[in-house]
Homo-oligomer: A and B are copies of this chain.
């Protein structure tokens, strides 16, 4: 019934302020692990955990060069999230359209009725 484990991981990854802050930083350009860690009052392994979650969700991509691991954002990864939101809005608007049709139908029937 779920059929979208990717969305679970994406939304879950975004549900944390530290991880969102990391993404905002990376949106400005790639950065190393310790660059990313610097603004946070948090031990390195904790921050690594966040990076791992972001990478597992596909939101960032990391590559180790020498002893430095460089992290970069993957902008396309946000697409499924936007997609779900759009789909959701489409459902909602579809409902509004049907509601409108219904109301118009009611008005028409009342007109016909009083006209008989």
Contacts and interface: CB of A to CB of B under 8 A. Distances in A.
A17 B14 CA distance: 15
Main DSSP-derived SS at the A contact region: helix
Q: Copy number of this protein in the oligomer?
A: 2
Interface in A74-111: 75, 78, 81-82, 84-85, 87-89, 91-92, 94-95
B11 A15 contact: yes
Interface residues of A, number: 36
Contacts of A4: 17, 20
Interface of A: 1-4, 7-8, 11-12, 14-18, 20-21, 23-24, 27-29, 39-40, 73, 75, 78, 81-82, 84-85, 87-89, 91-92, 94-95
